[in-house]
Amino acid sequence: MVTPVIEVADLRKAYGRRSVLEGVSFQVAEGEIFGLLGPNGAGKTTTVECCEGLRRADGGSVRVLGLDPVRQAAQLRSRIGVQLQQAQLQDALRVGEALELYASFYPRPCDRRELLAQWGLADHRETPFGKLSGGLRQRLFIALALVGNPEVAFLDELTTGLDPQGRRDTWELVRQVRDSGVTVVLVSHFMDEVEALCDRAAVLDGGRIVASGTPRELIARSGIGGTLSFRPGGPLDPAELAGLPGVTGVEESDGRVVVSGTGGYADEVTGLLARRGMVVTGLRIKEHSLDDAYVALTGHRN
């Protein structure tokens, strides 16, 4: 791992008697898209707010770009961009004015015209915030997070309120932001988003990190696998299938054999069928997604 841009170690935070973070540790490397995911109330937003200097941690340490987010807030804030989950703008403020206003807060703002075009806001320059649709508001918030040319961008619930096409477009733009060298921290409870976008992710649950790694690693670590099912062209001994490496179960119903397993179990099964010269029909493979892994890791339905 290259020099970490964000280092969080043993972060603790309680609101009154309610403990929200109970020793959260993770690192984010330069130029990656890092996802923080978990159910509502897991402490995701509190964690990023500690990184942004909006909240003071009760214990542990946080360094962003080598700076203490609370004590060196002034230095840090001009180098990061923030999209907050619940923060609106004045209803009468127009899109172009909002960008110009926030641009004036930063020492090296980016080109506003380009930003407006990039985020599909060029036709809405003169539209007041109060008249923007949910999707346009979301895009404006992201644009505001990027207007100061940040080194790190924190995006909290990035695609809330966007339609499916809008979400995909936004993912593509976030990839472009990453490719331009910006480190992105993404807070999300959408597994497909994290799977599609994040280089690495950490799963928060009950104030602790229960797993972290690439989306693939998270799926592998959750211990859940997939299923492979087919109709055999001839007699097949279920015990033989069950004995293959990685296979965790074999069921038969209506002449259909369903094999579940983890790791390379599917290759083992197809290998066996090939050695037997057995022709099968209706072959289906179902791989588990991060969504399934998430449920397995946190024990929550999303």
Partner 1 sequence: MSTSRNALRRLTATEAKLFLRDPVTAFFSLAFPVVLMGILGSIPALRRTSAALHGLSTIDLYAPIMAVFTLLMLAMNGLPPVLAGYREKGVLRRLSASPVRPVLLLGALLPLYLAVAVVSLLLVGVAGVLCGVSLPKQVAGFVVAFAFSAAALFALGLLVAALAPSAKAGNAIGATLFFPLMFFSGVWIPRDMMPGMLRRIGDFTPSGAAVQSVQDAWTGHFPHGVDLVTLAVFALVAGGAAAKLFRWE
Identify which range of 74-82, 110-118, 211-219, 231-239 contacts partner 1 by CB under 8 A.
Answer: 74-82
Q: Taking CB under 8 A as the rule, does residue 131 contact partner 1?
A: no
d(CA 208, CA 113): 42
Contact status, residue 278 vs residue 240, Cβ threshold 8 Å: no
Identify which range of 104-112, 113-121, 220-228, 249-257 contacts partner 1 by CB under 8 A.
Answer: 104-112
Q: Taking CB under 8 A as the rule, does residue 101 contact partner 1?
A: yes
d(CA 98, CA 125): 9
Q: Taking CB under 8 A as the rule, does residue 278 contact partner 1?
A: no
Tell me whether strands 59-64 and 4-15 are parallel, antiparallel or unpaired: antiparallel
Burial class, 82, CB count within 10 angstroms (exposed 0-12 / middle 13-18 / buried 19+):
buried
Q: Which is nearer to partner 1, 20 or 84 (CB)?
A: 84
Contact status, residue 280 vs residue 269, Cβ threshold 8 Å: no
Q: How many amino acids of this chain bind partner 1 (CB under 8 A)?
A: 24
Contact status, residue 269 vs residue 259, Cβ threshold 8 Å: yes
Closest CB 50 distance from partner 1, rounded Å: 13
Closest CB 142 distance from partner 1, rounded Å: 13
Q: Helix, strand, or coil here: 89?
A: coil
Judged by CB under 8 A, the residue of 92, 242, 279, 283 near partner 1 is: 92
Q: Which is nearer to partner 1, 34 or 141 (CB)?
A: 141
Which parts of this chain interact with partner 1 (CB under 8 A)? Answer: 52, 54, 74, 77-78, 82, 84, 86-90, 92-93, 97, 100-102, 104-107, 144, 148
